[in-house]
Amino acid sequence: MSFLSSSSPSFPMSQKRSIPKTENSFSYQKIEKLPKLINYSTSPSLNNSMLAKVKSRHKYKELQVDPVTAATVVKNYLLPMFEKTKIHELNLSRQHALGLTNADLNASRDSTAESTVYKELKLSEKLLKELENTNKKLVAAEEKQAISEQEKYELQAEIDYLKALSQDVLINYETCKLQIHQYSKNSHSSEMKYYFIHKQFEHYKRLNQASEEKIHEISEDLHAERNINDIRL
């Protein structure tokens, strides 16, 4: 009190300024309003209603998040945070190994909740790895399918080429077959001509032999007739 009286100047009571009493002054707030303020911030129903309003306000403004992006965020940002928390909890458990206080129990309950979330995040990380592996397998399958499609295209082109070549060979075969048939007809005609000519040759040959025999006979008769005439003379 002596310190306050020595450090602060003294004013007469009549010269002290009076502080105006307003409604905003905390000294004039009613005590019964404080529970209402406390209830406003701690009441579950009010909090739920406010949360419902916020949800309804952002109902049509929700962002569509890619599952891969969400899992990547969980892996790169959330899991390291929970792992640090887990290390911190291990340190606390070592410090409080001899007994538990209320703070320790609350921390244990929070640790249980965080452990559940941590397990879910680890599951998300596992699912992300499986999704990445599935994507890799899908990419490999798509590449394999693309290679198969390319091979199929090349084989189809080769089949088309062989079909066209086979068609050309078939046309050439039919052409050769017609030519052979024509040659066969010509050969048959030639054989018929040869047979006819051969028959004529044989006929003329026989006639020639008959003529020679006849000439020989006439020649002998003529020779005999000459001999008779010579004798008479």
Residue with tokens 């397990």: 119
Q: Look up residue 200 and give its two tokens.
A: 């004529």
Q: What is the pLDDT of residue 48?
A: 54
Q: What is the DSSP string of 144-183?
A: HHHHHHHHHHHHHHHHHHHHHHHHHHHHHHHHHHHHHHHH
* Pair 89, 121: CB distance under 8 Å: no
As a whole number of angstroms, the distance between CA 145 and CA 140 comes to 8
Give the rounded distance of the alpha carbon of 148 from its chain centre. 12
pLDDT the model gives residue 15: 46
pLDDT by residue, tens only, the chain of 233 residues: 343 344 444 444 444 444 444 444 444 444 444 444 444 444 445 445 555 554 555 444 444 556 667 667 666 666 666 655 555 555 566 556 555 544 544 554 455 545 666 677 777 778 888 888 898 999 999 999 999 999 999 999 999 999 999 999 999 999 999 999 888 888 888 888 888 998 999 999 999 998 988 898 888 888 888 877 777 66
DSSP-based three-state secondary structure for 99: coil
Alpha carbons 121 and 78: distance in angstroms, whole number:
8
Record the tokens describing residue 76, joined without a space. 């790169």
Q: What is the pLDDT of residue 128?
A: 81
pLDDT of res. 167? 92
With a CB cutoff of 8 Å and minimum separation 6, the contacts of 40 are 46
The candidate with the shortest Cα–Cα distance to 28, out of 37, 40, 19, is 19
Domain boundaries, the chain: 65-187
What's residue 43's pLDDT?
47
Sign of CA dihedral 60, 62, 66, 67: negative
With b meaning 16 or more CB within 10 Å and e meaning fewer, what string describes 148-171?
Answer: eeeeeeeeeeeeeeeeeeeeeeee
